[in-house]
């Protein structure tokens, strides 16, 4: 298991979205390592994209998207949180939403935090995986490539299946764009 380099995230979000598929999201939570393989992502492009949070300019909420590549952007929607990885250079507000994980370690902790037994339902959605890994607004703007951070993205050189590309989920604008990616045949994605 090796940490990722920050330079990985300086590329376009649709490139990063595919690169981090198959990598592992690692959370240090109360002396336990809670982790899962990233099996589903979505790209949100800088500016001019009506579906992106950054479309209407910089606000307190989307501040992290304007920051440097490789840091987290955590936002809340209804009663849940979702976590993104910021991409491209500082000042360009693009990001990749992590939509689903295949649980790897700390599964009992996930079950407690989620109050759900079925392993396929622990992390099969952006709000669910944040609950399972206890990711909150406190974790906004965490450097995911640093070994100092309590949330990281790492690689275990897993050889994954081919990547399926579809339209994004749950948004009302620009929903026709093919910017959602997931691992073919994986059982832990949020939907087909």
Partner DNA sequence: AGGAAGATCTACT
Partner DNA sequence: GTAGATCTTCCTA
Least separation in angstroms between residue 157's CB and DNA is 27
Q: Is residue 160 within the footprint of DNA (CB under 7 A)?
A: no
Please name the residue that has the structure tokens 């198959």. Answer: 22
Residues between 1 and 40 with contacts to DNA, criterion CB under 7 A:
none
Listed residue (65, 72, 73) closest to 90, CA to CA: 65
Q: Longest Cα pair distance anywhere in the chain, in angstroms?
A: 43
**Residue 94, CB-side half-sphere exposure with 13 Å CA sphere:** 22
Q: Is residue 169 within the footprint of DNA (CB under 7 A)?
A: yes
For DNA, the closer CB: 1 or 91: 91
Please name the residue that has the structure tokens 């935090």. Answer: 113
Tokens at 183, concatenated: 């691992």
Following CA atoms 132, 138, 140, 143 in sequence, which dihedral angle do they give, to the nearest 10 degrees? Answer: -90
For DNA, the closer CB: 90 or 156: 90
Site stretch for DNA (CB under 7 A), options 21-29, 76-84, 143-151, 178-186? 76-84
Site stretch for DNA (CB under 7 A), options 1-9, 23-31, 70-78, 151-159? 70-78
Beta-bridged to residue 29, according to DSSP, are 32
For DNA, the closer CB: 1 or 89: 89
Give the C-alpha separation, 53 to 75, whole Å: 10
Q: Is residue 137 within the footprint of DNA (CB under 7 A)?
A: yes
Least separation in angstroms between residue 187's CB and DNA is 16
Q: Is residue 78 within the footprint of DNA (CB under 7 A)?
A: yes
Instruction: Specify burial of residue 80 (Cβ count, 10 A radius: 0-12, 13-18, 19+).
Output: middle
What is the contact surface with DNA in residues (CB under 7 A)? 42, 44, 51-54, 56, 59-62, 65, 73, 75-80, 82, 84, 95, 97, 114, 116, 121, 125-129, 137, 168-173, 190
């Amino acid at each position: 298991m090796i940490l990722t380099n920050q330079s990985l995230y300086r590329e376009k979000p649709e490139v990063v979205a595919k690169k981090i598929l198959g990598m592992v999201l690692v959370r240090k939570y109360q002396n336990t390592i809670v982790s899962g393989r990233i099996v589903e992502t979505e790209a949100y492009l800088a500016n001019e994209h009506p579906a992106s949070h950054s479309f209407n300019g910089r606000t307190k909420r989307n501040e992290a998207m304007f920051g440097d590549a490789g840091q987290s952007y955590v936002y809340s929607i209804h009663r849940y949180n979702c976590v993104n990885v910021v991409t491209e250079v500082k000042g360009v507000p693009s990001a990749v939403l992590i939509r689903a994980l295949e649980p790897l370690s700390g599964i009992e902790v996930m079950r407690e935090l989620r109050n759900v037994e079925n392993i396929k339902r622990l992390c099969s959605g952006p709000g669910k995986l944040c609950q399972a890994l206890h990711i909150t607004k406190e974790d906004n703007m965490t450097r995911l490539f640093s070994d100092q951070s309590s949330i990281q993205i790492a690689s275990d050189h897993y050889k994954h299946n081919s990547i399926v590309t579809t339209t994004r989920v749950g948004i009302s604008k620009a929903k026709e764009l093919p910017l959602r990616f997931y691992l073919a045949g994986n059982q832990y994605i949020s939907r087909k």
